[in-house]
């Protein structure tokens, strides 16, 4: 069954019209993206800073209205960027656990919001529900009357997850949920997420810049570069047998114990200027395989072997 279907979703941020001259076409933060996610699947979304992954995630949960395209959750189309309508179906876990909790509210007040506003539960029911959720995320009940600044990063992130769970969503968008945490705590949170997924039959969209973490938790992975999808494939194969040169560059850059230290080959290391994007493939400037075709024509996603899709005129063959 399809949990989430995204069709042609894109976002262009308009720029103010200058006093003289013609208006700028705007910054294309996310170029049209289409994919679908099965119920119970974890889809990893990988990309470096500036690749549009946060803009994309904010559109998925209705915090930002898309410029084009539609979002369908379990067959229902959601096209009116209304966070409350989205909230019951899809929830968001933020990167910075502390700043996602209001410093002037107790944890109980924070937890009650989705129960009261999205599900209209009464006071007694809310208490029971909060207790249930807290025991599931391994938090003690006495935390409920404390304020966010009293918690460590790992605890605060579990509170963030508990709040998302309280909305009883079908899908959770996890935006770098562990990148602010220490490694020993990171594993606690990742394992908790895996347990919760089983228990509630959740579907995850896991956004991260850490390839090893994405590989450890995902079934399929999407690689974003400069606002567009450059490759989609199974987590097991996409980093071992990448088809797009950018995916290969990412995989080779990850520090691995025992691998000799050499910077992977590339021509340049700057992202293109979003105000003045190149004509063809956005990666052409950094790519060793780039030809004239790449610099003039934008490659489309096309099917490769092992069910992988890559947007490349000269995919890697092995």
Partner 1 sequence: MTRFLALLVRNRLAAAGGIILFCVLVLTLITPFLPLQDPDVTATANRFLRPFSPGHLLGTDHLGRDLLSRLLWGTRLSLAVGIAAAVLAAVIGSAIGITAGYFGGRTDNIIMRLVDMLMAFPYILLALAIVAALGPGLMNALIAVAAVNIPFFARNIRGITVGLAGQEFVDAARLGGLGHTRIILTELLPNVIPVIVIAMSTTVGWMILETAGLSFLGLGSQPPQADLGSMLGEARSALITSPHTSVIPGLMIFIIVMSINLLGDGVRDALDPRLRSGALSRPRAATLVERQGEIPAASDDLLAIQELETQFHVGQRTYRAVNQVSLSVRPGECLGVIGESGSGKSVTALSVMGLVASPPGVITGGAVRFRGDDLVGMPYEQLRQKRGDRVAYIFQDPLSTLHPLYRTGDQLAEAIRSHHRIDKAQARARAIDLFKAVRIPNAESRIDNYPHEMSGGMRQRVGIAMALANEPDVIIADEPTTALDVTVQAQILTLLDELRRERGLAIIFITHDFGVVGQLCDRVAVMYAGRIIEEGPTGAVLAAPAHPYTKRLIACVPELGEGRRKLAAIPGLPPAVDRLPAGCAFAERCDKAQEACRTGDISLSGTAPRTVRCLFPEEAMP
- Position 16 contacts partner 1 (CB under 8 A): no
Which one of 105, 108, 170, 197 is in contact with partner 1 (CB under 8 A)?
105
The reply to whether 87 sits near partner 1 by the rule CB under 8 A is: yes
**Subset of 120-159 contacting partner 1 (CB under 8 A):** 152, 154
Q: What would the x/- binding string for partner 1 be over residues 222 to 241, using CB under 8 A?
A: -------------xx--xx-
State the number of binding residues for partner 1 (CB under 8 A).
76
Q: Considering the rule CB under 8 A, would residue 100 count as an interface residue with partner 1? A: yes
Nearest CB to partner 1, comparing residues 32 and 312 = 312
Residue 113 vs 316, nearer CB to partner 1: 113
Does 254 bind partner 1 (CB under 8 A)? Our answer is yes
In whole angstroms, the minimum distance from the beta carbon of 64 to partner 1 comes to 10
Contacting partner 1 (CB under 8 A), which of 16, 259, 276, 317? 259
21 is a contact residue toward partner 1 (CB under 8 A): no
List binders of partner 1 among 260-289 (CB under 8 A).
Answer: 260-264, 266, 268-271
* Residues of this chain, 182-221, that bind partner 1 according to CB under 8 A: 182-188, 190-191, 194, 209-213, 215-219
> Is 101 a residue that touches partner 1 (CB under 8 A)?
yes
Provide, rounded to whole angstroms, the least separation between the CB of residue 58 and partner 1.
8
- Interface mask toward partner 1 for 22-61; x: CB under 8 A: --------------------------xx--------x--x
Q: Is the dihedral of CA 244, 246, 251, 252 positive or negative?
A: positive
3-state helix/strand/coil string of the chain: CEEEEEEEEEEEECCCCCCCCCCCCCEEEEEEEEEEEECCCEEEEECCCCCCHHHHHHHHCCCCCCCEEEEEECCEEECCCCHHHHHCCEEEECCCCCCCCCCCCCHHHHHHHHHHHCCCCCHHHHHHHHHHHHHHCCCCHHHHHCCHHHCCHHHHHHHHHHHHHHCCCCEEEEECCCCCCCHHHHHHHHHHHHHHHHHHCCEEEEEECCHHHHHHHCCEEEEEECCEEEEEEEHHHHCCCCCCHHHHHHHHHCCCCCCCCCCCCCCCCCCCCCCCCCCCCCCHHHCCCCCHHHHHCCCCCEECHHHCEECCCCCCCC
Please report, as residue ranges, which positions from 152 to 171 form the binding site for partner 1 (by CB under 8 A): 152, 154, 160, 163, 167
Q: Pick between residue 34 and residue 266 the one whose CB is nearest to partner 1.
A: 266
Among 157, 151, 152, CA closest to 174? 157
The reply on whether position 78 binds partner 1 by CB under 8 A is no
Q: Given the complex with partner 1, which of 32 and 52 has the nearer CB atom?
A: 52
| Residue number with CB closer to partner 1 (166 or 311) | 166
> CA-to-CA distance for 135 and 141, rounded, in angstroms?
8
Give the tokens for residue 126: 């809310």
């Amino acid at each position: 069954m399809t949990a989430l279907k995204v069709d042609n979703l894109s976002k262009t941020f308009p720029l103010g019209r200058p006093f003289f001259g013609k208006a700028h076409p705007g910054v294309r933060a996310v170029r049209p993206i289409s994919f679908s996610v099965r119920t119970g699947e974890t889809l990893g979304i990988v990309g470096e800073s500036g690749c549009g992954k946060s803009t994309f995630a904010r559109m998925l949960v209705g915090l930002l209205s898309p410029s084009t395209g539609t979002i369908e959750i379990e067959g229902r189309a959601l096209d009116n960027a209304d966070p409350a309508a989205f909230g019951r179906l899809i929830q968001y876990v933020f990167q910075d656990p502390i700043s996602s909790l209001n410093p002037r509210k107790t944890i109980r007040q924070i937890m009650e919001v989705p129960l009261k506003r999205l599900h209209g539960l009464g006071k007694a029911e809310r208490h029971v529900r909060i207790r249930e959720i807290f025991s599931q995320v391994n938090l003690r009940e006495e935390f409920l009357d404390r304020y966010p600044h009293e918690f460590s990063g790992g605890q605060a992130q579990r509170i963030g997850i508990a709040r998302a769970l309280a909305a009883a969503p079908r899908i959770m968008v996890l935006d770098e949920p562990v990148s602010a945490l220490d490694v020993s705590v990171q594993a606690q949170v990742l394992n908790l997420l895996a347990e919760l997924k089983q228990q509630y039959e959740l579907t995850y969209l896991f956004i991260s810049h850490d390839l090893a973490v994405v590989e450890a938790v995902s079934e399929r992975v999407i690689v974003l570069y400069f606002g567009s999808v450059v490759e989609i494939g199974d987590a097991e194969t996409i980093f071992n047998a990448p088809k797009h040169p950018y995916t290969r560059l990412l995989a080779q850059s990850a520090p691995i114990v025992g691998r000799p230290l050499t910077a992977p080959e590339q021509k340049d290391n700057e992202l293109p200027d979003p105000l003045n994007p190149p004509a063809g493939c956005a990666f052409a400037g950094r790519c060793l395989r780039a030809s004239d075709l790449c610099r003039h024509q934008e490659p489309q996603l096309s099917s490769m072997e092992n069910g992988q899709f890559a947007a490349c005129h000269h995919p890697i063959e092995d």
